[in-house]
């Protein structure tokens, strides 16, 4: 498989519909229905304060990260997912790390002070990836995903001098 290329989905781009459709398919395969944005993905992306980066190779979308900046002080990484949940052959290619790094850079360019996210504490690889990039656990949010599934709220503060 060809190495993936990191791209940004921009409003009004010619490939908008195709990319959103592919991401919705990934969303449905990756997340339980109550955690999925599949029904509202297009609408979420059309918000002025939302962005999406994705990795594509051989005409397929391999992964994506959705982020938003609800205020001038903070941003949030709302989704980070990819085919690694589906195909063993796509694991350990660095796509998730590249997407996370790019999303952090996009958020930093908005001059926000903090980026936050939520992650299931049992997803050790994801927690470690976030920690590797400077995120810290803020607290455990009980029943965040469902009655029996909690989440860590994690954050990354930007140094004002950067």
Beta-bridge mates of residue 50? 68
pLDDT band at 91 (very low <50, low <70, confident <90, very high): low
Per-residue pLDDT tens for 127-154? 999 999 999 999 999 999 999 999 999 9
Q: Which residues of 134-159 are buried (b: 16+ CB within 10 A; e: fewer)?
A: ebeeeeeeeebbeeeeebbebbbebe
pLDDT band at 85 (very low <50, low <70, confident <90, very high): very low
Tell me whether strands 149-157 and 114-119 are parallel, antiparallel or unpaired: antiparallel
The correct answer on CATH 3.40.630.30 for the domain covering 5-157 is yes
């Amino acid at each position: 498989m060809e190495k993936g290329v990191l791209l940004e989905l921009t409003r009004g781009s010619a490939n908008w519909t195709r990319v959103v459709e592919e991401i919705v398919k990934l969303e449905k395969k990756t997340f339980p229905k109550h955690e999925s944005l599949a029904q509202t993905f297009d609408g979420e992306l059309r918000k002025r304060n939302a962005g999406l980066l994705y990795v594509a190779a051989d005409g397929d979308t391999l992964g994506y990260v959705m982020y938003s900046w609800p205020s001038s002080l903070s941003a949030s990484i709302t989704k980070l997912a990819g085919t690694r949940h589906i195909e063993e052959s796509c694991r350990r290619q660095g796509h998730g790390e590249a997407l996370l790094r790019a999303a952090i850079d996009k958020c930093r360019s908005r001059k926000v002070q903090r980026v936050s996210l939520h992650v299931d504490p049992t997803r050790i690889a994801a927690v470690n990836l976030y920690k590797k990039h400077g995120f810290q656990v803020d607290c455990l949010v009980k029943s965040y995903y469902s009655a029996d599934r909690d989440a860590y709220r994690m954050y990354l503060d930007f140094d004002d001098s950067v």
